[in-house]
Structure formats: C-alpha cells, structure tokens
Amino acid sequence: MKKIGSLVLVLVMALAMAACSDTNTVKKTSTNGSNAETSASEQSQTTQGSDNASVDVTLDTTGNFVFKYENVDILLGAEPTDILAKLGEPKSKLDVPSCAHDGTDYVYTYNNMVLTVYIATGSTVGYISDVRLTSDLVATPEGLEIGNSTDVAVSKYGDADKTTDSLWIYKRGTSQLMLSINNGKIISIEYQIP
C-alpha cells in the first residue's frame, strides 16, 4: 500500500513539474515605487541582476479561480499572508527551489489539499501559485471532485480551453484549473498560476 501511495505522489509531483512554465506576465514593484510589467523570465533576470534591490512580484487576480477550503477563500495569485493565517497550522511545510521561476516555492500540506506559495528571489511578498486537491473528501466550489466523470466537469465548467487524452485545462484570468483524466474519470484536480 505504501508503494502505491508513493507512486501516486511521484506521479502528482511529476505532473506539477511538467506543468511549470515561465510565460506569466507579472507586475514588479521596486523599492522606488515604479511599476513595470514583464514576463516571468524577464523578471527573473531583473531580480538576479540586482543584489541590493527588493522586488515584489504581484499578479492581476481579476477573474482568477477561487478554491474554498474549510470556509476560507483561496484566490489564485493572491498575496498569501491572510489566507495562510486563516487556514491555520499546516500538517507540514516544505520549501524548494521553484521549477518555473527564479525563487522559492513554499509548499503547505493540509488535510485533503496542498497549497504552494511562490516568492521570487529578492522579494518579501509572494503569491499563491498552486492548490492541489489530494482526495475526494473536498470539491471545487462548483462541486467537482476527484473520481467524477468528465461529463460532470463539462456540466460544471463547460468545454475545456485545452484538452489532451489525459489533461483538461480551464483558464480564468491569470490562473488555470487542470484536470488529470484516466479512462473518463478525473484523477487529479489542481489550480495553478502557469
């Protein structure tokens, strides 16, 4: 049983890493108050080149997905401090180098959910970059659960913006909802800032 659990965890982590990209547009606010929009890869280069400048990365969250967990609204792309405080103490916390950008991913594990906060190198403020449901004991606000058929996904969200045999992606604002599919069933639900 432990082997199956380990294999599922490895598969989910592999999917999460494969889904990483650096095509996001982010808003940088430097310490002098000037704003500029750049791609995440440009942001990484700017941050790396300034040893003493503090750079805060924020996203436009208009229209982004919101996941509700134990009466806490988790807006994808939002600044995490208040949300993390409302969620309370996680079961575990891990910090790892980000696979998508120059910075660190802080991974918080709760019952039935894993939440990731991205903080750019040189930044003091991050944003919620990923929320992954880990069991069928939680559902999206629209009522979609792991184990549902793809027909249920279509009834809740309509046609996906992008589909393959094993992955459906719905986009809202700067966020997306990724459904991993196997034999017409949803095996993974993940919200993400790509």
Note down the domain range covering 88: 2-137
DSSP 160-193: -SEE-SSEEEEEETTEEEEEEEETTEEEEEEEE-
Indicate whether 162 pLDDT > 50.
yes
Q: What is the pLDDT of residues 16-71, one digit of tens each?
A: 444 444 334 344 333 334 444 443 433 333 333 444 455 556 678 999 999 999 99
Counted domains in the chain = 1
Q: What is the pLDDT of residues 65-115, one digit of tens each?
A: 999 999 999 999 999 999 999 999 999 999 999 988 889 999 999 999 999
Decide if 20 is inside a domain.
yes
145 CB-contact burial (10 Å; exposed 0-12 / middle 13-18 / buried 19+): middle
* 185-192 β-sheet, strand order: 92-97, 103-110, 113-120, 127-133, 185-192, 175-182, 167-172, 162-163
Decide if 146 is inside a domain.
no
The amino acid occupying position 132 is: R
pTM of the model: 0.73
Decide if 187 is inside a domain.
no
Distance of alpha carbon 184 from alpha carbon 105, whole angstroms = 32
What average pLDDT does this structure show over 175-185?
97
SS (H, E, C) 107-132: EEEECCEEEEEEEECCCCCCEEEEEE
Decide if 69 is inside a domain.
yes
Decide if 15 is inside a domain.
yes
Decide if 122 is inside a domain.
yes
pLDDT at 192: 96
Decide if 166 is inside a domain.
no
pLDDT at 99: 85
Spatial contact of 80 and 117, defined as CB atoms under 8 Å apart: yes
Decide if 55 is inside a domain.
yes
